Structures are given as C-alpha cells and as structure tokens.
C-alpha cells in the first residue's frame, strides 16, 4: 500500500496536534516530519501525552530541509508563515495544504485589509484552490496548493449552499449567528481564553467585522449570480471544542409556496453522496457533542413563516480545521475520502 509522506509545520498548536492524531491512524499516511522553531529535538509525545506510543517523531528545525522530502506539507501556523515558505516547497514538487488564511482570499487587497499583512506570494496565490471538499472536489484533486477553509466559513457555506445554488432565497437577507468553543482561539496564553475568563460566560466578538466574513462572501458569490449580503456575528461559548451556526434566509417570492418537504429534498439531494455531511430530518436539533472528535457536519432545517432556519454543527478542530485538511489530502492523492476520518463522535 502506497504511503503519502507527510510533513507538518506548526505542530505545537491545537490544529497541529489534531493533525497528528488523525494522521497517526491514517492507513495511507506516513508521518515524516513535524517542525517547530522553539521545540527542536523535543519528543512530540512529551508535549502531547495522548500521542505516547503512537507518534515517535521529534520536532525538527523548519530550516533543516526535511520538509522537502515530503509528498505533502500541512501548515498549521499563524498567518504569514505559509506564504513565505510554500513557494519553495511547491518548486520542489511538494504539495501544500495551508490551514491558515494566507491563500483563502483571492483578493490581495482584501487579505491585506483584513489581516494587516503584505501578501508575499501573489503569483502562488493565483493557483491556490479553496479546499471545501464537498463543493470543490475536482479542483482540489488536481491542486498543488490548497487553502483549507476557516471553521465558521465551513458551516456557513455548507448551510447556505443548497438554498443559493437552487435560487430559493433572497440573497440580501442572509444572517449567520455562530458560536465556537474556546479552542478556536488557538493554543496561546491570552486573558480572554483563560478558564476563569471564559468559563460560565457567553459573549459576542468581532461584531463590527470578522476575518471570516470576506472569505465567506467570496465563496458564497460563487454559488449565485446575485450580489450576496451577509450579517455574521460570532460568539465565544464556554466549551473546549464545538461549533454551532444558526443561519437565516428569507424565501424569495418564487419559493414561498414550497413545502417543508420540498425544501428538505433540496438539502438531501445536495449532500446525498457526501460522507461527512449529515442532513437530519426536518425539525431536528443537532448538538455540538454529536460531532465531537469527528469529521462529521450535521445540518437540520426549520421554518418560521417565509424564513428558513438552518442549524449546522461541527467540531471546529476537525471538520473546521484538521479533519477537513486530511479530507483534502485524501482527494489530492486519490485516496478514499474517508481514509483516516471514520472515527465516530464522542458521547457524552
């Protein structure tokens, strides 16, 4: 059985360790390198005890050249790192999956406005493929460079897609009310994500504008000919992992006579062959814990008058990040899309 030789840049964060957890059990993946500038020579399992007896790698220096020996390199790094290092890897024939934002936005101006960084790889950016497997599978299959979607954008795009693609809603009325667990903020020492600050509390953030808004709008615009407007408000909830999006859209005049059953069929048809999208029966109430630790995203539909309400849940670290990246690797290397991702969610 052919093994894909894998490297990871930025393995000390939550998405990095999640990549290690998934890839260590992947039947077609060979973990070859994991780099860290601050942990060179340290055993990975000594930093993350859950990997003891499973991963025997030590952290390597990213400048050692070991990444050039890989078939694919994942970047689980802060913004700006992948754009600096990816071009040389691509020249050497290494394929790249970036879990950061460096290649998600095709508009350089939008990227620089929202992230406050000059884009260093505009030529490479033009060939980047947006890595939402369910909606962009064939382009991902041929790609050298894949931009893994953000966690919130994944829920919003998969939730709105059947409505927009089939022209059922007024695209000026889209609202996304989204909640994420604290791990979405990353593994860092910051007052706002300390236990005593985030526990027993609930708050909105990024209300005047969140970096995932332009990414989502750019992708939603591909689903319809009309100009899309979206109100997006993220919230922080006191749980470690999990994401819940409540999406609202008003049926347009042509669609207001549709029955609930007909709208359900639109979603069922859109995702009938997708292994990681579960369209639940009409009126279901999906729970974030039903996706914990898995690559599954669950969707259910409700209706209030002419407003369709789409509920979407996922694990922000798996389908919202590392699991989706592994799913993209599977597509890129013509592996079974479910390889390494068949784990059932943890309950309770």
- Asked whether 99 and 15 are in contact (CB, 8 A), the reply is yes
CA 348/CA 342 separation, integer angstroms: 18
CA 16/CA 77 separation, integer angstroms: 8
In degrees and rounded to multiples of 5, residue 99 shows phi and psi of -85, -5
Nearest to 237 by CA among 160, 185, 301: 185
Structure tokens at 41: 């020579």
Query: Is 343 considered catalytic here?
Result: no
Q: Which uninterrupted H or E stretch holds 246?
A: strand 243-250
C-alpha distances in angstroms, 26 versus 155, 202, 340? Answer: 25, 36, 4
DSSP reduced 3-state for 34: strand
Tell me how crowded residue 161 is: count the other CB atoms within 10 A of its CB: 24
Q: State the catalytic residue, choosing from 70, 151, 178, 343.
A: 151
Catalytic residues: 151
């Amino acid at each position: 059985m052919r093994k894909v030789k894998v490297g990871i840049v930025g393995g000390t964060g939550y998405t990095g360790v999640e990549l290690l957890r998934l890839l260590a059990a992947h039947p077609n993946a060979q973990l070859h390198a994991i780099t860290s500038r601050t942990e060179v020579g340290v055993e990975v399992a000594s930093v993350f005890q859950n990997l003891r007896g499973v991963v025997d790698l030590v952290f390597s220096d990213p400048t050692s050249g070991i990444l050039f020996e890989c078939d694919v390199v994942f970047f689980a790094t802060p913004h700006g790192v992948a754009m600096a290092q990816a071009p040389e890897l691509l020249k050497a024939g290494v394929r790249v999956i970036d879990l950061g934002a460096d290649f998600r936005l095709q508009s350089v101006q939008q990227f620089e406005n929202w992230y406050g960084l000059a884009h260093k790889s505009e030529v490479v950016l033009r060939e980047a493929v947006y890595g939402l497997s369910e909606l962009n599978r064939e382009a991902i299959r041929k790609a050298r460079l894949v931009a893994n979607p953000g966690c919130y954008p994944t829920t919003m795009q998969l939730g709105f897609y059947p409505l927009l693609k089939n022209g059922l809603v007024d695209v000026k009325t889209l609202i996304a009310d989204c909640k994420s667990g604290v791990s979405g903020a990353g593994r860092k020492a910051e007052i706002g994500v300390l236990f005593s600050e985030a526990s027993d509390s609930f708050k909105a953030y990024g209300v005047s504008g969140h970096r995932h808004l332009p990414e989502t709008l750019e992708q939603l615009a591909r689903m319809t000919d009309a100009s899309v407007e979206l109100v997006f408000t993220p919230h922080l909830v006191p749980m470690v992992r999990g994401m819940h999006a409540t999406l609202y859209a008003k049926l347009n005049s042509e669609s207001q006579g549709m029955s609930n059953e007909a709208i359900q069929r639109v979603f069922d048809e859109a995702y009938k062959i997708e292994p990681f999208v579960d369209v639940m029966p009409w009126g279901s109430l999906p729970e974030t814990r039903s996706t914990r630790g898995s690559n599954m995203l669950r969707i259910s539909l409700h209706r209030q008058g002419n407003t369709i309400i789409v509920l979407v849940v996922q694990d922000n670290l798996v389908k919202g990040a590392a699991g989706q990246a592994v799913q993209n690797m599977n597509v890129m290397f013509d592996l079974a899309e479910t390889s390494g991702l068949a784990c059932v969610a943890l309950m309770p």
